[in-house]
Structure formats: C-alpha cells, structure tokens
Structure 1
Amino acid sequence: MIRTNQKALEKEVGADTSNELLIPGGMPVGIYLETEGALVLGTEGVTGEDGEEHEPAAHLVKEGDYIIALDDEEIKNKSQLIEAVAALESDDIVLTVLRNNQKIDIRMKAVRCERNEYKLGIWVRDNAQGLGTVTFLNADSQFGALGHGIRDTDTGQLLNAADGLLYTTSIKDIQKGENGTPGGMEGIIVYNNYNILGTIQENTSEGIYGKLDRVDTLFTDTTPMEPVLDESEVKEGEAVVHCAVSGSVKDYEIRITKVDENAKESNKKLQIEVTDKELLELTGGIVQGMSGSPIIQDNKIVGAVTHVFVNNPKEGYGIFIQDMLKHIE
C-alpha cells in the first residue's frame, strides 16, 4: 500500500464534496464519552432519620432522564450532583431534567437521613468507556466510527453526549465468538493526555463522529478511497472488511449476503458473512470491538460492520457509508 498523509489526501479531494475521498480506517481506538448531565438509571428507597423507608423520586424521575440542574445550579456530571446534594440545607428541591429533549422541572422532597444528610434515592451514571473501530477519515480530519451509537448498558438508551475523547489502544486478547455467545476484543487503554487522539463531538444511532488531532499516530499506511454514495451500487457478493484484529490492519474476505435499502434501522441495511479462514480462526467471525470496520467492495468503501448475529458469529449487519457521511458537515 502507498503511504499517504493529510496533505496528499487534500490534493486528491476535489471541490465537489459528493466525490470526496476518504481514508479507510480499521484501527481500534479507546472511547471515553461523557453525558450531558447525570443519566438516571432508576430510583430506590431511602431510610430517613425517622427510621421509615421513603422513595422520594418514585413516579417523578424516570429511567433515561438526564439531571441537568438542582435548584437552578447546573449539573454536568455525577460528581457535581453528589456535591450539590451534599450541600442541601432544605428538603424542598427542584430537579431540572432533560426528557425526550425537553426540559422539565420536578419539585420533590429530599430525604433527611442521619448526620443531617439528604438523599434523593436516584441511581445515576455520567460516562461510558470502551473500545471500537474507526471507519474513515476525511480531508478535514473528521472521522466516523462504530456505525452505531453508544447506548447505556442498563437503559439501552442512546447516550446524550456532552463531550468525548478518542485514545490510542492496543489489542491484548480476543475472545472468539461462539453460537449464543458473542466474542470480543480486549484492549489496553490508558486514559491520560498523552494518549488522546482526538475529540468526539457527536454520538448518533449511526455512529460517533468528531475531529482527529493526531492523524499520523492512527493513520500510517493507507490509501484514500472513493466512497459509494448510491446504495444501488452495493451488490450481494464478495467484499472485504478492513480491520486490525491481528495487530495490524488487513483485508479479510467477507460476503454481502443481503442489501436492504428499506430496513427500519439504518445500521442493519447490509447483511454480511465472514468467509475468510484466517479471520474465522482468530475471532470466530464478528466480535465486539469490530464495529466500525470499513466494508470495501470493488475498491470502494461501501459501509461498515455494526452488529453480530449472537447465534451465528460468522454473520452480522452493516451500515451504508452514505448513512454515516450524513453526520459529517
């Protein structure tokens, strides 16, 4: 493969963005995503100073709400919520939550406990970490990855991202997928400033998107490719998936078994089957962490891997590349 860099890519990209060239990815990255506020996972009972059990948030705060303020004090994360509750001097409070993209003020009573402490009886979370695969990079250093959104593991809700970072990672181990048990890639991610690759600016149902600051660290030996922008050009038949499960990015043979332009979920419009013997030996097929690996057919980027069939890890779903490019301005 021909080594290229960002300047070379910019020269090859014309003024017509509909024909924009992309550098295909396939490299694993560490992901850190912070929510906008504190995500509510559920409510629970609290024992008050009267010895009675109270559940102050029941039927008021709902799973999936984002707490963004307490008594008009902005709440950006779980730590700020804990600090705000610790500073309460009265049990009469107003929580501001984001529910279905609408702000709602909820008046409730905090429970006064022993040692003059107050509790809300709400379980919350404020970040997500993991490993995924970069799909592409464009001439403006904008990247797309995963091909599906990052969702909360408990609620299944798409995380409302306020901020996020990409980190360098290396694959430590691979658990092979078996029928009924999806496999996975285990990576070593050190969350410090030295390992930051770029910023995540958007978390959508079609993937995560942002800006890469250290292009040469992630993209070293690869060639720009043309993306397929017309779904009708993608055909059932032979293709390859670009991924780094062996430690370096390689092409592995797959077969596109179905093209469904009318699928209800955009990241399930392609059905694929792994046919490459080496990849099957390494992973058993598609494993968690491979999401975002670009799918290439006739030397063009047509999409990315998104899901694995739990009962048959040789098969899975993919998303069209044009559905990912909609999120790139």
Structure 2
Amino acid sequence: MTGKSKFYRWLGRIFWLSIVAVTGYTWYYMDQAVPDRVSIIQNQEEDFSFGLPLKATISSDSEEVSLGNESNIPADQITISGRQHFSMIAGEQGSYQVGLKLFGIIKLKDIQVDVVDTRYAIPCGSPIGIYLKSDGVMVIGTGRITGPDGMEVEPAYGILKTGDYIEAFNGKPMKTKEDLISAVNESGGQDSVVTVRRDGEPVDVSVKPIAGSDGKYKLGAWVRDDTQGIGTITYVDMNGNFGALGHGISDSDTGDLVETSQGALYSTEIMGIEKGTIGKPGLLSGVIYYGPQSHMGDIAENTNEGIFGTVNQQFKKQLTGEPVEIACRQDVNPGVAYIRSNISGELEDYEIDIQKVDYNASHKNKSMVIKVTDPRLLELTGGIVQGMSGSPIIQDGKLAGAVTHVFVQDASRGYGILIENMLER
C-alpha cells in the first residue's frame, strides 16, 4: 500500500468519525435543549422556544392541549425550526403528552405537559433550626471492643453495614440509641437477632454482643438517631405548608439521605458568618433554641429536593411579604434574579445572575448555575455559604427556585433548584 493510499484511508476514517461525533453531539444538544416536562397555567396561553438547529414537528396526543405558531390558529400539530416561537394552551387540569419529531419523521422525545392552576407562595429566606429524627437507629460504622482480658474484637464487622437502620433487637422495637444500648447490655452476651432495614428491605442478622472493659455488653457499632443544623425556609404556601433547603439532609458520616420518622423546626439566631474562600466554603454559625416556645413547625419529609412539612401559628406570626406566583420551568431563564435572605438581620433581596438553566438535570437540586453579583452580599458572606441553602430565588416577580450548593473553588457561584422541582418531589 502506497503512502498516498494510507493517507486517504486515514482521511476517510477521520471524516466518518467526525460525522458520527457531530451527529451524536447534535442529538445530545437537542435532547438537552428540549425539556422533558413543562407546566402551563389552565386556560392561559404559554409561549415556548426550544432553539433547535433542525426542523421539527410537534404534535399533541390529547384534544385538551392545543398548539399554535405564528398563524395563531389552534392545531394538534405544528412545524417549527430554529428559535421559532410556538404556544400551548389547555382548558382542563391534568398531565398530557406532546411528541417531538425531527423533520416530522425521527422521534426525539415525548414532553409531559402538566396543566395546573395558578399557584402562589410566600418567599421566606428566614434561617431556621432543623431537628431530624431518623426512622430507626442508623449504623454509621463498626469498631473494635476491648474486653476485660485486653483482647480486641469486632462483633458487628461484616454483619451490620454502614447505612443500615436498626429497627428491632430480639424482637423489641428500637427507637433511640438509648433503647439499643439498654437492650444490648440486657442480652448478657447471648446470640441476638437484630432486625435492620437495608436498602428499604427488612433483614434479620445474628450478632453476639461482647463485654467491654467496663463489663457492659456492646455490639461494636457506631450509631446515630438524630441530626440537627441550620438551613433556610424557601417558601410557605397558602395552606401553611413549607419547603426548605432545596436538597435533602444527609448523614455527615455515611453521606446517605437520612430516612426520617419525624422532625421539627425551631427558632435560631445567627451569631456569626465565616466567609467562603477558594477551596473552603463559608458557613453560618448560630444557636438553635429548643423548647415549646421556640417550636416553629413539623417536618414530614426529607427528600433529595428538600425538607417539607407544615409551619405553626408561631411561625406564621413572623411571616413578612406578600404571596408571589410560582414560576413554571419555562419561565426561569438565564439573566438577572434575586436571592431573598435576612442573613444580615433584615429581610433583603440580593442581586444574582442565573448563568445556566438545565431543565433536564439528572440531579434536580442542581438545575441552575447562579452567581452572586450584589456587592452587599459579597461583602457580607463572600457569596454563598453553608446555611443559606433554601434561600428563595425570585425572577421577574415570581418564585423561581432556591439556592442549594456552593462551588468550593468559587464561593460567589453555586447551584440552585427550580421551584417546580421542589414542588414535584
């Protein structure tokens, strides 16, 4: 084979690889540009533009959803290209499907269209003390026990696993660490059955407690039954339901989402702010006041999209501000927005820049990239600090989402969650 033949063969390979790469990237770009799910207000025409590089046909699978374009004539199928705008309108609440095909032939995806009533909530931005009780006694690890003879053993090694929730010991329900410690000591070192919840399923394991140097019997397991900290209330709706944090509460040792049986909100006082620096996120330090007079509400759920529950009259008395409309996904766009927070001691709106919106983010609590631009907040905190999670994001007078994470290498930037992702947990 001549050198020229080899050259043309390699040139052909590069050409076809380039075609495959461009086709793959174009398909990925279009898939990301088109949301998997949108919301429209009942009886209200909503405008959309996907910015597709190719011509596409959109068709409605239901008579309830009508499509429109520049002709403004309702239809069940329209063709769009580029950044051409189109609209959808529906008269009945519910969930429907709209199909999208490239050139009217190649199916790209189905879009779920949720038709909803206009929703309102009060953006809060108030720091709050959070107490979460785990559903069972969580195992965070195992360890060695030094017996009376000085020998070290690890009875739970390979039997109990990090992330297990101990529900019962020899058939007796375990609600707290104290319950478990007492039951283990009372076993007298006999082989015991421990019922754990592992990956959501009940499992019985056999463990033989060992006497420690103090003469008391132990499992050799590190456990936890609660967690607490400071976060921010995002919103309270018209029925007294709240959403906070925008992300779930995970155990500090295992990193797993804490499975909760109950929890509560308590009043808190911010005592200091440690500014964020490169490689080290800042944080809020404060005091949580526990007790009946400081009880502000109850936590019902701990999810990847935040914590949720109801506030009490004590909290409602402190609410300020008017209800605002909940933004649909497509209402949230890159550009100027505001974080609402009373981190300074007074409720204020601080300007930010929404740099990116990912309607199809795999992690819903990272569906926006935001940057703090307000010099007041930058001077006060350096940007986003731990404890600000849940601070509401307001754009165009609507509740758009909440702050969730800070970038470790740049405290002025971080992630946010779309408010609809919080509501549709």
Two-structure CA RMSD over aligned residues (Å) = 1.4
Q: CA deviation at 1:109?
A: 1.2
For the 8 Å contact 1:40–1:66, the answer to whether it is kept is yes
Equivalent in 126, 129, 140 of residue 30 of structure 1: 129
* SS of corresponding position for 2:276: coil
Q: TM-score, normalised by structure 1?
A: 0.91
What is the DSSP-based 3-state SS (H/G/I as helix, E as strand, rest coil) of the residue aligned with 1:132? Answer: strand
Structure-2 separation of matches of 1:303 and 1:115: 53
Q: Distance in 2 between matches of 1:282 and 1:185?
A: 11
Question: 1:36, 1:77 within 8 Å by CA — same for their partners in 2?
Answer: no
Does the CA-based 8 Å contact 2:246-2:389 persist in structure 1?
yes
The match for 1:310 among 378, 399, 408 is 408
Write 1 or 2 for the structure with the bigger share of strand: 2
Deviations 1:233-289 (A, max 9, x none): 211000001111110111000000001112210000100000001000000000011
Quick one: which of 155, 160, 171 aligns to 2:270?
A: 171
Higher RCO (CA-CA < 8 Å; seq separation 6+): 1
Match of 1:324 in 2: 422
Q: Which residue identity lines up with residue 287 of structure 1 in the other structure?
A: V
2:350 and 2:211 mapped to 1: Cα distance?
60
Q: Is 2:189–2:210's contact at 8 Å kept on the other side of the alignment? A: no
Q: Per the alignment, in what secondary structure is the counterpart of residue 323 of structure 2?
A: coil
CA distance in 2, matches of 1:22, 1:115: 56
8 Å contact kept, 1:46–1:111: yes
- The alignment of Structure 1 onto Structure 2 pairs a total of residues equal to 310
Residue equivalent to 1:251: 349
- Using the TM superposition, give the Cα deviation of residue 319 of structure 1 relative to its aligned residue in structure 2, in angstroms: 0.3
Shift of 1:113: 3.9
TM-score (norm 2): 0.71
Return 313-322 or 231-240, whichever deviates more.
Answer: 231-240
Structure 2 vs 1, CA of residues 90 and 254 (structure 1 numbering), >3 Å: closer, same or farther?
same
Alignment of 1:170-319 (within 5 A): 170-213=269-312, 214-219=314-319, 221-229=320-328, 231-319=329-417
User: 1:50, CA displacement in angstroms?
Assistant: 4.8
The Cα offsets for residues 141-173 of structure 1, whole Å up to 9 and x where unpaired, read as: 110000000011111010011111101112111
Amino acid at match of 2:315: V
| Cα distance per residue 1:76-121 (max 9 Å; x no partner) | 1211111211222342100011111111000121113456531110
Any conservation in 2 of the 1:148–1:267 contact (CA below 8 Å)? Answer: yes
The range that moved more, 299-308 or 38-47, is 38-47
Q: What is the CA–CA distance in structure 2 between the aligned matches of 1:215 and 1:102, rounded to whole Å?
A: 37
Report the identity percentage.
47
The structural deviation recorded for 1:48 is 3.1
Matched AA of 1:186: S
Structure 2: gaps (5+ residues): 1-92, 94-115
Please give the secondary structure, in 1, of the residue aligned with 2:125: coil
Pairwise CA distance, 1:51:
4.0
Letter in 1 for 2:409: N
Aligned with residue 18 of structure 1, among 106, 117, 125: 117
Contact 1:91 1:112 in 2 (8 A): no
Specify the alignment match of 1:12 in structure 2: none
Aligned partners of 1:94 and 1:106 also within 8 Å: yes
Amino acid at match of 1:150: I
Q: Displacement, 1:30?
A: 0.4
Distance in 2, matches of 1:115 and 1:190, equals 36
Q: How far off its partner does 1:210 sit?
A: 0.5
Alignment check: 8 A CA contact 1:27 1:218 kept: no
Match of 1:162 in 2: 261
Amino acid across the alignment from 1:96: T
Distance in structure 2 (CA, Å) of the matches to 1:266 and 1:173: 30
In the other structure, the counterpart of 2:49 is none
Contact 2:407/2:414, CA 8 A, preserved across alignment: yes
Greater C-alpha Rg? 2
Task: Quote the Cα distance in structure 2 between the aligned partners of 1:226 and 1:201.
Answer: 24
Between 273-282 and 46-55, the greater mean CA deviation after superposition: 46-55
Whole-Å Cα distance in 1 between the matches of residues 324 and 317 of structure 2? 20
